[in-house]
Chains A and B, each alone.
Chain A
């Protein structure tokens, strides 16, 4: 690569123009073969199961809720 002296800040600012931080990496060509292997992969299934939709429960025994309760009880004659 040709080496030139350039002020680091200017180069960084310019590099900013060209960035998409999240550019997908090219899949290797041989990963094409047996793509059905991808679909059946265990890890993929695992990634699918790492979500919860039942987190919105009525449990108020956690620290935050206990502190909230205490806070609301202060000057509780008003409430």
Chain B
């Protein structure tokens, strides 16, 4: 297409863009400005502009020769370079140019008193992350060190700083926070989340309720995930439930992601998802786990952990699920107790270790009496079983009242 573009047409397109850009700024039209810089939208308009720039080749002259454009030149000239680089698939160059434009934009943004350009600022925040990712892929595939995403993170911290004030711009801070989360999660540097979280949650200038719902949902999703990593299950439940409750119902993929982390949390506090939920949101990896808990089937749990080991490891929930073993043991012993009660109620509260060993053997778990004693001791210690252990006779003596306390929404005592 570029080959058929005349110099005249190219010139016209660039001049038109410049006019629109400067009009958007002077009339403080935030959404117009946003659409003019939204590169990754792949808009036909911006692609056509990029072609024009590549043909015309001297756009800086056009910018500088008119006063009202040259004032915005620090933004426009590198931005044009970025567009040109994207068009020919050079993403490192594109990123470097965009970073320049972004910094210049931030400087102007600081001077604009109201939040009229917030949408555009957010678009800059999104674009710098997206471009940095593409740049890093390009670097990595040519054997170089991928450091652009990190750089984007530093830029976003500057943006955050510009928004963390008393004025109307502060409601835009949570969006930027979420972009930072995405960067840190991608880089695996989640410990860096701490300082922005602290700013959002403790600074007096921020009122969490003021932020837009979509940003609150995203924020709760990521901070919820952090709570899962840290095994703070009650906090994780609260945050991920918030995200689930307030998420746009059409965002099925996002709902699925919330559930992916929420389900292990729920299981850890004794609450099970219905199969319909797992089916609807395509989470088959949890089906056997849920059934294992319901039945007391240790073999099934271990099988599920084995079959989906990669998936669970990648999402970081493997250890959380592995620890469910104790709850499955509880359920198994409870079933043995109920079965015994049906045969002989008077003796049911005494469960011989031998019997448990036999059950475990049937479940392909070869354990001797001593190992089983150990596990029973742990279950008693963690209040999953109420009773005591008669060591000499190798019998667990269950309390007559509520021998298998339910978790009731609280995690197992650690």
Contact = CB atoms under 8 A, between A and B. Distances in A.
Given A50-B274, A71-B362, A79-B352, A2 B295 contact: no
Interface stretch (B19-27, B157-165, B332-340): B332-340
A9 interface: no
Nearest to B275: A50
B12 to A, nearest CB: 28
Nearest to A70: B362
B244 to A, nearest CB: 6
B140 interface: yes
Contacts of A14: 137, 140-141, 146
B268 to A, nearest CB: 13
Nearest to B184: A20
B255 interface: yes
Q: Kindly name the residue among A6, A65, A67, A78 whose own CB sees the greatest number of chain B CB atoms within 10 A.
A: A65
Nearest to B225: A22
Contact of B136 (A18, A56, A69): A18
Contact of B214 (A31, A53, A55, A60): A31
> Which label, helix, strand, loop or mixed, suits the secondary structure of the B interface?
helix
A62 B297 CA distance: 12
A14 B257 CA distance: 24
Contact of A35 (B212, B260, B314, B359): B212
Interface string A65-78: 10111011001001
A51 B409 contact: no
B213 interface: yes
Nearest to B139: A14
Given A22-B315, A23-B186, A4 B141 contact: yes
Interface string B308-344: 0000001100000000000000011011101100100
Interface string A14-35: 1101111111111101011001
A72 B355 contact: yes
Contacts of A50: 273-274, 276-277
Given A22-B257, A25-B254, A48 B295 contact: no
A32 B211 CA distance: 11
Contacts of B186: 18-20, 23
B372 to A, nearest CB: 14
B177 interface: no
Interface string B214-236: 10011001100100000000000
A68 to B, nearest CB: 6
A32 B212 contact: yes
B196 to A, nearest CB: 16
Given A17-B146, A71-B362, 16 more contacts: A2-B90, A18-B140, A22-B260, A25-B251, A27-B248, A39-B246, A41-B248, A47-B259, A51-B271, A56-B331, A56-B404, A64-B296, A65-B335, A65-B339, A72-B339, A72-B358
The 10 closest A-B pairs by CB, nearest first: A50-B277, A43-B249, A2-B89, A27-B214, A14-B140, A35-B213, A64-B295, A20-B185, A41-B249, A71-B362
Interface of A: 1-2, 4, 6, 10-11, 14-15, 17-27, 29, 31-32, 35, 38-39, 41-44, 47-48, 50-53, 55-56, 58, 60, 62, 64-65, 67-69, 71-72, 75, 78-79
